[in-house]
Amino acid sequence: MSEEQGFTTRAVHKSRSGEPVVEEPASVPIYQAAPFIFNDMERFAAVGKAKISGGYLYSRWANPTVDALARTIASLEGAEATACFASGMGAIHASVASAVSAGDHVVSARQIYGGTFGLFNDYLPRTGVEVTFVDVTDLDEVAAAFRDKTRVLYFETIGNPSLPVADVDALVAIGHERGATVIVDATFTTPYLFDAVSHGVDLVVHSATKYLGGHSDVTAGVVSGSAEAIATIRHLGIDYGGTLAPLDAWLTIRGVQTLALRMDRICANALTLAGFLEAFPGVERVTYPGLASHPQSSLARKLFERGFGGVLTFEVSGGVAGGRRVLERLRLASPAASLGGTKTLIVHPASITHTQLSREEREAAGITDGLIRVSVGIEDVEDLMADFEQALS
């Protein structure tokens, strides 16, 4: 077209060179675009019909940066495919919804994230799906909860926040013997610490906001499994609209590159801090899968060869008020509702993260009023111990 185009026309269109980039960029590009422009009308029609395969039309359906993250996570999980969502709850919702219909039944661990409990306890029954909550460490109770219409068995590798360790192999056997889809939230263990797919899990979900992103600057969720199952889940995500944004996908890709390095440091710090707190006067109980005092310590050592995760809990006297006083006195560990970043974060579940549960429900899940959850970061562990010492003293 003529160079006599108007100022605004040139401002809008001159950034399009039309020339392919032969050299591969060292970092995955952020395709920060909603629609994609076509010069070939037949291809436009073909991609428009396929929506999520063979090209890119509209980023709610597919985006190159998001697909790059999906390929990376699928590889780390040893899975055929991965679907990405705007949050961990988006991934959990789509995963469960892909396996149930009105009239179906779900068996779920009682010891789960408060947001997941809210979804299962409040929302799913309104869609005609009933949920039975069980103690994930009681295999007889889990098996007895199944019905003819049970379609899903759901649990977390390490429960949030009371930290029970799930006997994944035994639970997968129970679920598959009864024809259920086994869905596991492996956020606390990550693909680096635990290979859920090789243990027979059908769908493994993560809040990528946590360790996968790793820097407390992204909200994302992923679910991995067979190509057939993930295709169904991706279409649900398209219809629900819980699409992951390209920038958030890029941030998660960046974070995943240092996952192994961060988890090694975080696990080492958490084990040292847990041992320090367990020996500290005035601390009533410390729970961490790497401690010999943990009820499933032998199982944890069998499942998690590289480390036991970055989350520990401890209890102080004084209930809710006592827990809050500790949070107020800490200087390095920061009060925050999330976990899995480079900074050590601390929260009081009874008043912050698990308020969806009644006091009776919290106690049944192992969440006492004085329980404090610590997400250990990558700081120098000597500084962390000094911070907790001054706060608890």
- HEC-encoded secondary structure of 317-334: CCHHHHHHHHHHHCCCCE
Banded model confidence at residue 130, pLDDT cuts 50, 70, 90: very high
For residue 207, give both structure tokens.
Answer: 């809040």
DSSP labels, 174-205: HHHHTTPEEEEE-TTTHHHH--TGGGT-SEEE
Burial degree of 274 (CB within 10 A; 0-12, 13-18, 19+): buried
**Is a pLDDT exceeding 90 seen at residue 21?**
no
**Is a pLDDT exceeding 60 seen at residue 384?**
yes
In words, the CATH class of domain 260-392 is alpha beta
Angle, alpha carbons 66-74-136 (nearest 5°): 115
Q: Strands 311-316, 283-287: parallel, antiparallel or unpaired by DSSP?
A: antiparallel
Neighbours of 29 (CB within 10 A): 13
Matching CATH number, 41-256, of 3.30.70.270, 3.30.200.20, 3.40.640.10, 3.30.565.10: 3.40.640.10
Cα separation, 136 vs 111, in Å, equals 7
- Closest CA relative to residue 310, chosen from 227, 373, 222: 373
Question: Which amino acid makes up residue 187?
Answer: T
- Give the residue numbers annotated as catalytic, written as ranges: 60, 113, 185, 210
Task: Report pLDDT digits (tens) over 227-285.
Answer: 999 999 999 999 999 999 999 999 999 999 999 999 999 999 999 999 999 999 888 89
Domain ranges of the chain: 41-256, 260-392
Neighbours of 215 (CB within 10 A): 15
Task: Report pLDDT digits (tens) over 274-320.
Answer: 999 999 988 889 999 999 999 999 999 999 999 999 999 998 877 77
Q: Is 293 within 8 Å of 286 (Cβ atoms)? A: yes
Cα separation, 235 vs 256, in Å, equals 25
- pTM equals 0.93
Question: Which amino acid makes up residue 98?
Answer: S
Residue 345 backbone zone (phi > 0: left; psi -120 to 50: alpha; other: beta): beta
Burial degree of 69 (CB within 10 A; 0-12, 13-18, 19+): buried
The three-class DSSP label of residue 289 is coil
Unique residue bearing structure tokens 């961060």: 262
Convert 165-182 to b/e letters by CB count within 10 Å (16 or more is b).
bbbbeebbebbeeeebbb
Q: Given this model, what pLDDT does residue 116 score?
A: 96
Q: Is 294 within 8 Å of 165 (Cβ atoms)? A: yes
Question: Which amino acid makes up residue 34?
Answer: A
Cα separation, 165 vs 174, in Å, equals 16
| CA-based R_g, the chain, Å | 23
Q: What are the φ/ψ torsions at residue 73 (nearest 5 degrees)?
A: -65, -40
**H or E stretch including 165?**
none
Q: Is 381 within 8 Å of 273 (Cβ atoms)? A: yes
Q: Is 209 within 8 Å of 87 (Cβ atoms)? A: yes
- Quote the distance between the C-alpha of residue 383 and its chain's center: 28
Task: Report pLDDT digits (tens) over 162-178.
Answer: 999 999 999 999 999 99
